[in-house]
Every structure is written in structure tokens, then in C-alpha cells.
Amino acid sequence: MAVSSTQFTHSTSPVFPFSSRVALSRTQVSCSSSSMDSGALRKKFMEFPYVSAPHRNLMLELISSMETRIGDSLQPCTLPPDVQYFENPNGSAHASLHLRSGVPSSQIDFILGGWIHCKLPSGGALNITSLSSYLKPSTDAPHFLIDVIQNSRTSLVLILDLTPRKDLILNLDYLKTYYEDTQLDTYRQCLQGLPEVSPYFSPSLYIRSVLSPTAILVGIDTGDGEKSIEEMIQEHISPIAKEIVQLWLDKCASVEKQVGETERAYLAKRDQIIKSKTIEVDLGSSFPRLFGQEVSAQILGVLREYYNA
């Protein structure tokens, strides 16, 4: 998943309240997906089967926007079948990952989408959907990130950001170009002005340091209010997310901006640290709770190869 997705959920109760670890062998994982071809696995990913229609439509529209604009710069997904879809033996946890690397001539490193579903002991369910896009060190433009984390019928956590790749104090032009001139903070202000929305603060200082000052990091709780969580997604989250992904496509992914060798080395090192910490802090702390140590080691091992982490 993207930076922060499961780390945020791991730090908020009652998400991931599992005290026992589920043992899941590689053979058991493989049998759930080895019979599927690449088309069936992509269809499985694109189903987003456990979320509401507005939530599913949001993710599909974001993916469609990316693939329409930068699809020629992307290779087909080459993740192993048992990484593209896996579940635990009792069927209480399922996940799908879809990663497309950029072609060698592209400044796209890769895009990664995914969903996780697991039943909670309380009787509810946790659903996480995620989409992130990484650029190569040939450009210093920000990466893109969205996570929608829902663990009840009336509440969710939203993380939406263009994550910076340079120090914003030492590079004030960068701050102005990508965050001030684009008026990104107006989207955060718009959401946080709604009565159902409140700021969410990750207890992880590392996670908070990765995000930009304009990051949308909020909790949404409709409770017994007039609007449902589905209406909040359709009327407020979806329009903002679609505008931000278009902004990223216009200002970041589609602009050829070559950087010098010294700066390229700095960006490569910084990106590498973030990718490694994504595996260690984010996925590495949560996957074993859902899928057991053995399958988690397999999945994370494959992702490390793609992340070069």
C-alpha cells in the first residue's frame, strides 16, 4: 500500500485489534490466485468488492484518470499472482495489490493500488483502499497518495496528499510551485469546515514528517447525522480527490523537468528511505496481524524488489 495507510489504522482503536497471528503458508496463499490469469487478477483488483458504490467509483475514477493520462508510460502489472490477490485460510482477510512500473523512458517510477478487507471481532469490518504514484529521481515533483480507511458504517479516515520530495524551507520555490500557487490548502480547509470532519493526527512522527503542510489528514464521522458516509464520499471527498489527482497529472507527472546529477542522487536517496520505511513502518507492522508471518514475509519480500528497498 501507500505510505501511511495501515500505519494510521494500526494506531487507532478499534482497528487491527488482533492479538493472535494467523499462520498462512505460501501454498495456501498461492492456491487462491494461481488459477487466475492476469486479466482475472486485474478484474479482481478493480472490483473493490467490499466497499460502497461511491467509494468504489471514487477509486475507479482515480485509476482511470491516471491510466488515461499516463497509461502509455506504464508497463503491465508483473506482480506474482499470489501477491496480486491473497487471503487467509478462514476467509476473514483478503487483499489485492496492483503495481505497474513505468517504462524506462518515463519519469514514472510506478503506481500502486490496492485494497484490504478484514472482518473485525466486533462484527464489523475494516476496509482500506489505496492508490499511490511514485516518480523517478529524474524529476523532483511530488508523489501522489490517497488512502481511504473505513472501520465502521459511519466513520473513516482519509489521507490525501502530494508528498514533497525536497525540504520545503530550503526550497521555497518548490513550496510556492507545488503547494502555494496550486492553492492545495483550500481543499483541506474546505473539508475541515464540514461539521462531520475533524483533523486526524497520526501518533507516528515519521508519518507526519513525510506529508506536506497541505495534506488532507482527517477523520469523518457521520454518526446519527443527516448525511451518510456514502454521501460524504460522493459529495465531498470524490470531487476534491479527483481535482487533486488531475493537478498531480498536470503539474507533476506530465511535466518534463530534468534535474542535475547531484540533485538526482539526493532525490534517489530520499525516495529510497521513504520506500524502505513504507515496508518497515507501514506494511511490515500490519500485514503479519492480518495474514501471518510467512505470507507477510513473502508479500513484503516481493514489494521490496519493486521498491528497491
pLDDT tens-digit profile of 254-268? 888 889 999 999 999
Q: What is the pLDDT of residues 235-257, one digit of tens each?
A: 999 999 999 999 999 999 988 88
The average pLDDT across 125-133 equals: 95
Identify the pLDDT of residue 293: 82
Nearest 5°: phi and psi at 149?
Answer: -120, 110
Burial of 54 (0-12, 13-18, 19+ CB in 10 A): middle
Q: What is the pLDDT of residues 156-201, one digit of tens each?
A: 999 999 999 999 999 999 999 999 999 999 999 999 999 999 999 8
Q: Percent of the chain beyond pLDDT 70?
A: 88
Angle at alpha carbon of residue 156, lines to 279 and 11, rounded to 5°: 45
Domain ranges of the chain: 5-307
pLDDT at 25 over 80: no
Identify the pLDDT of residue 3: 39
Contacts of 201 (CB under 8 A, 6+ apart): 208, 217
Contacts of 182 (CB under 8 A, 6+ apart): 247, 251
Q: How confident is the model at residue 224 (pLDDT cuts 50, 70, 90)?
A: confident
Mean pLDDT of the chain: 86
CATH number of 5-307: 3.40.1500.20
Residues 65, 249: contact at Cβ < 8 Å? yes
